[in-house]
Amino acid sequence: MTRGVLYDTPRLRGTDQVRPGQPVHGWELAEAAAAQGVTPASGDTEQIRCGADAGFEALARACAELGRRTFQFMTAPLALEGGTGSPVDSLVVL
C-alpha cells in the first residue's frame, strides 16, 4: 500500500491519447507534477495514462471530477502456496 500519483498525459496535452512518435518524457512528467501541484516522493507509485485503457479512463475521470491527482494505491497478489510470483490486482481508493 502506498500513495499513487496519476499523470494524465493526454488530458495535459489536450488530446485523447499519446500518439506514436510522441513519447512521454521525464521533463514532461516533472512539468505535469508541478502543474498538478503534486510533489513526487520516495515510495510513490506513478501511474502514467497514455491512452484508452478502461481502468485508467475511469481513474482519470474520477480524479478530474474530484480535482485531485493522488490516491491510496494497493496491489493484491494471488496467494499461491510455494509460488514465487503472481499476477496482481490493483485497487485505488480516492
* Domain ranges for the chain: 2-93
Where the chain has pLDDT below 50, the residues are none
18/15 Cα distance (integer angstroms): 7
Which of 11, 15, 61 is closest to 36 using CA atoms? Answer: 11
Q: What is the pLDDT of residue 26?
A: 92
Q: What is the pLDDT of residue 84?
A: 84
Model's pTM, two decimal places?
A: 0.81
Q: What secondary structure does DSSP assign to 13-80, as a single string?
A: HTSSSPPTT-PPPHHHHHHHHHHHT----TT-EEEEE-S--HHHHHHHHHHHHHT--EEEEEEEE---
Q: What is the pLDDT of residue 68?
A: 92
